[in-house]
Structure 1
Amino acid sequence: MKYLSGQRPLYVLVGLFLLSAAMLNGCAWLTQPPQNDAVAQQMVGRWMQNNSGLKSFKGLMQLQIEAQGRSMRGRAAFAAVLPDRLRVELLNTIGQPLFSLASDGEKITLISMQEHVIRHLEPSSGALEPLIGIPLGVEDLLSVLIGRPPLPDFAAAQAVRDDIEQCTVLLKNRWHERLAQLHSGSCERIETLTLYDDRQNEMRYAMTWIDWQTVGPYILPRKATILAANGVRITITVERYWPDISVPADTFTLVLPENFRTDSVPK
């Protein structure tokens, strides 16, 4: 027989390979997934239903971006159709145009008026980082504006048991690693969402909804902040919402200036 002459059958080699892989991965596939907490699931579901009937809106906001000891302030008009179409026109404090941004769900176009530059960005989860210094996507920014936390894919939601009077929920992946923490003092509306790097267990960024306003049937954010691990802070103060308003499709297409250069954005 061949295996008696020094050669091993194929099934033995396959078995040894699988055993080695299991040892190298610490028997990862044998790890039991984290258990879902019914109370935590209920809280997350409630927060994710906030303003669920809102499909489109326009508005005016004050925007401040602070980074490396510098601060940029401006006033912006915005229009959106959920989940991923957005138009923003930002002016500086004396009314001069700074930039125009448009996302039609397939591509993101940015025009910098001061630099005379056109940039095209892929609609990824961190697409806006070259612009604002925080790895946010268009859908994440829209979630901030409607007061609904943008959540990562998670395996389990678990309530923090020592937080009796308030509501704090941890989201974990299949390997029990922390992905996000949500907190609400009133338990009704989300107040803080902190996202973590699941491998390093370090904060990526935190969103805080500070104040709210009633607009028709909706309770929408008046003021919110986004703080990144690199120290960049964005403060959004919404002065006015026009909810459930018709937004033409061409709103999300920019007319490109002929004399502006086009720069590629590193992926």
Structure 2
Amino acid sequence: MARDLIEQLALKNQNLSRLKGIMHIRLISAQGNLSGRAALAAIYPDRIRVEWLTFLGQPLMRFAADGKNVVIDLHDEDQMYRVKQSPTALQKLIQIPIGIEDLLQILKGAPPLPEYAAAQMRPAEAQKTKVALIGRWHVLKGELKTSADCTIEEMTAFQNDGAIAYRVRWKDWRPQQGYELPREIEITAGTGDILSLLIDRVYPEVPVLPELFQLDVAPSH
């Protein structure tokens, strides 16, 4: 039963190939708090572009991933960086150890599952379900919680030492063109940093130009 549930959750909105959207973003971290509005465009499984502005319309940052590299443009630093797409490529940007592919899974309402060897049902609150993902050497790699109708509510990813890497909470949903998409998401790092996303508008399966995911950066950066 545990593996069947995991497969069902992982296949959430599996046919979604691209989307655009407008969202509110709030980042609470030890380095300070940021909030504003952002425009989002994505092609699954690994391309995304985000333009993040203050509520007054001033640029905060932007980043784009083309399937191989992530280019980050931090407006305050007047500098652009290129990093390889990796499972922790966004940590420098949002203080949370996730990659582009994981973020895109979260945005479509599917848990970004860690590698695991076994799945076990665990005791949960009434009408809810909890599944533990166990890795090699019986290390806890992740934990999933669902509502009574088996909708994903929360996923926690763990480091090898048992500490929390990050936790995702899907707090609200909306039906949109045959998809059930998240409306409100909260991602909390083990350090306590919090990224909150309130998705105002989302447009599934609209045209997205591939060149949108290219940002120029000088080779020396």
TM-score by length of 1: 0.79
Paired with 2:76 and 2:220, the residues of 1 have a C-alpha distance of 14
Paired with 1:214 and 1:228, the residues of 2 have a C-alpha distance of 28
Determine if the alignment matches structure 1 residue 45 to structure 2 residue 7: yes
How many residue pairs get aligned? The number is 221
- Equivalent pair of 1:50/1:189 in contact (CA under 8 Å): no
Deviation at residue 187 of structure 1 after TM alignment = 4.1
Paired with 1:136 and 1:119, the residues of 2 have a C-alpha distance of 17
Residue 152 of structure 2: which of 190, 195, 201 is its match?
190
Determine if the alignment matches structure 1 residue 249 to structure 2 residue 210: yes
Aligned to 2:23: 61
After superposition, residues 179-258 of structure 1 pair within 5 angstroms as 179-198=141-160, 200-256=161-217
Paired with 2:27 and 2:124, the residues of 1 have a C-alpha distance of 35
State the Cα RMSD in Å. Answer: 1.6
Deviation at residue 243 of structure 1 after TM alignment = 0.3
Deviation at residue 174 of structure 1 after TM alignment = 2.3
2:131 aligns to what SS in structure 1? strand
Structure 1 window deviating more from structure 2 (247-256 vs 54-63): it is: 247-256
1:95 aligns to what SS in structure 2? coil
The change in CA–CA distance for 1:262 and 1:213 in structure 2 (over 3 A counts) is farther
Amino acid at match of 1:88: V
Structure with bigger strand share is: 2
Post-superposition Cα deviations, 1:43-92, rounded to whole Å, max 9, x if no partner, equal 11111111111010000010000012832101000100010000000101
Larger Rg: 1
2:212 aligns to what SS in structure 1? helix
Amino acid at match of 2:109: G
Paired with 1:44 and 1:63, the residues of 2 have a C-alpha distance of 29
- Amino-acid identity (%): 33
Post-superposition Cα deviations, 1:94-149, rounded to whole Å, max 9, x if no partner, equal 10111121100011111122211010111010001111111110011111110000
Paired with 1:84 and 1:205, the residues of 2 have a C-alpha distance of 20
Paired with 2:58 and 2:88, the residues of 1 have a C-alpha distance of 28
Paired with 1:242 and 1:225, the residues of 2 have a C-alpha distance of 21
1:211 aligns to what SS in structure 2? strand
Residue 73 of structure 1: which of 16, 35, 51 is its match?
35
Residue 177 of structure 1: which of 129, 134, 139 is its match?
139
Structure 1 runs not aligned, ≥5 long: 1-38
Deviation at residue 166 of structure 1 after TM alignment = 1.4
Structure 2 runs not aligned, ≥5 long: none
The change in CA–CA distance for 1:128 and 1:162 in structure 2 (over 3 A counts) is closer
The change in CA–CA distance for 1:67 and 1:240 in structure 2 (over 3 A counts) is same
TM-score by length of 2: 0.95
Paired with 1:222 and 1:72, the residues of 2 have a C-alpha distance of 20
Amino acid at match of 1:252: F
1:147 aligns to what SS in structure 2? coil
Aligned to 1:119: 81
Structure with bigger helix share is: 1
- Equivalent pair of 1:167/1:187 in contact (CA under 8 Å): no
Amino acid at match of 2:191: N
- Equivalent pair of 2:26/2:34 in contact (CA under 8 Å): yes
The change in CA–CA distance for 1:60 and 1:181 in structure 2 (over 3 A counts) is same
Deviation at residue 163 of structure 1 after TM alignment = 5.3
- Equivalent pair of 2:124/2:130 in contact (CA under 8 Å): no
